[in-house]
A = this chain, B = another copy of it.
Amino acid sequence: MGSRDRAGAAGMNGGAPAAVDKGVDFANYFCTYAYLYHQKEMLSDRVRMDAYYDAIFKNKHHFIGKTVLDVGTGSGILAIWSAQAGARKVYAVEATKMSEHARSLVKANNLQEVVEVIEGSIEDITLPEKVDVIISEWMGYFLLRESMFDSVICARDRWLKPTGVMYPSHARMWLAPIRSRLGEQKMNDYEASMEDWYCFLNDTGTHYGVDMSVLSKPFSEEQERYYLQTALWNNLHPHQVIGSAAIVKEIDCLTATVDDILEVRSNISSSINVCGTRLNGFGGWFDVHFRGRREDPAHAEIELTTAPSVDGGTHWGQQVFLLHPQISVDEGDNINVSFSMTRSKENHRLMEMDLDCEICQPLGKQLQAFRKKFYID
């Protein structure tokens, strides 16, 4: 689940990296999902809805007469579809008060005999039985923001039968070099902010007798982080992608562990495929697939992709990581990236990313090398 309006997951809890305080987690993260407006945003995403709808209804063999667990049911939509596709029993778990709306929606659609809505964290609740299918829409920006997949893994390890299938079954993170006017925009914003700071310094010294220049460095670092190092939500046009996209991470939802995703490390390469263009940064996105499992595959393999698209944009958009200044590149140039993404110490649902980049000409001559840190807030 990604949403433009998902302000949740922001804020600093200042706590130890060990156990996550539930109240803090609620204040930082869960609370946004309790709003119907937010649920509607996600329910209005046709690409998202079509993918899950098709994944279920074109693979009824996975649902008819089976038991299903919907992790983070929200409004209850996936649980309802699972029941409509023929499930014998569906457990729909939701941590927020949205569960009450899910319950009334289930009843209004005459599915209360099949769908049981349970309010609580998937980590805490108990089910009367293991299930044949775990379905969940857990994906955040660039796949892993929000770290909701941890909860899906927990659910799988506790409640999925040995023969069970995961919906979706696979997930991938992608990165590609892009051009974007946002680069110049954000630099202008940053510079205007610093210009304003120096006027403010001057005024405060003149009118109020306090020398605040010692704060210039921390202020500029804070502003730099905000304007230049924080990943941006954007809906990229395919024309903005100037080189081959590379897979940064592949996840098998049946076998992945939390350890596998605590730190995402990858060495990737991308080849520029546009003549005389500029590199403003990178775009990151994801896709998921519904393939079932080897012993019990899907009949129709459905893909949900959030790659840059002319008319297939989703509410996830893509995440944009800007470089300053822009770099002139040419067709055939190669960008080698050492990619590393970890969770923020202050908030495990947010990410920090390190890119170690090298740009080489087709024959191997190195043009540039640099590293940059980004924040996915």
List chain A positions with a Cβ less than 8 A from chain B: 7-8, 11-15, 21, 23-24, 26-28, 31, 34-37, 40, 43-44, 49, 53, 75, 77, 80-81, 84, 97, 101, 104-105, 107-109, 197, 200, 203-204, 207-215, 218-219, 222-223, 226
Chain B min CB distance to A190 (Å): 12
Knowing A11-B31, A27-B28 touch, does A80 contact B210 (C-beta < 8 A)? yes
A204 touches B43 (CB 8 A): yes
Chain B min CB distance to A227 (Å): 11
Cβ of A34: which chain B residues have Cβ within 8 Å of it?
12
Complex CA gap A37/B200 in Å reads 12
Q: A14-B26, A77-B210 are in contact. List 6 more A-B contacts (CB 8 A).
A: A13-B26, A36-B218, A36-B219, A43-B204, A81-B209, A109-B211
Cβ of A222: which chain B residues have Cβ within 8 Å of it?
35-37
Complex CA gap A347/B214 in Å reads 36
Complex CA gap A272/B259 in Å reads 67
Complex CA gap A223/B39 in Å reads 13
Cβ of A107: which chain B residues have Cβ within 8 Å of it?
214
Cβ of A108: which chain B residues have Cβ within 8 Å of it?
211-214
Knowing A109-B210, A210-B105, A214-B108 touch, does A226 contact B23 (C-beta < 8 A)? no
A27 touches B11 (CB 8 A): yes
Q: When A and B form their complex, which 3 residue pairs have the shortest distance between CB atoms, in order from nearest?
A: A108-B214, A27-B27, A23-B24
Knowing A105-B212, A109-B210 touch, does A219 contact B40 (C-beta < 8 A)? yes
Chain B min CB distance to A106 (Å): 10
B101 touches A218 (CB 8 A): yes
Complex CA gap A123/B108 in Å reads 50
Cβ of A40: which chain B residues have Cβ within 8 Å of it?
197, 200, 219
Cβ of A213: which chain B residues have Cβ within 8 Å of it?
108
Complex CA gap A80/B212 in Å reads 11
A214 touches B44 (CB 8 A): no
Complex CA gap A14/B32 in Å reads 12
Cβ of A36: which chain B residues have Cβ within 8 Å of it?
215, 218-219, 222
Complex CA gap A5/B374 in Å reads 23
Cβ of A97: which chain B residues have Cβ within 8 Å of it?
14
Complex CA gap A214/B100 in Å reads 12
Complex CA gap A107/B212 in Å reads 11
Chain B min CB distance to A42 (Å): 12
Most chain B CB inside 10 Å of its own CB: which residue of A21, A40, A49, A207: A40
Complex CA gap A200/B75 in Å reads 14
Most chain B CB inside 10 Å of its own CB: which residue of A26, A207, A223: A26
B37 touches A223 (CB 8 A): yes
Chain B min CB distance to A257 (Å): 28
Chain B min CB distance to A191 (Å): 15
Chain B min CB distance to A115 (Å): 12
Complex CA gap A107/B203 in Å reads 20
| Closest Cβ neighbor of A37 among chain B residues | B222
Most chain B CB inside 10 Å of its own CB: which residue of A36, A104, A222: A36
Cβ of A31: which chain B residues have Cβ within 8 Å of it?
11-12, 14
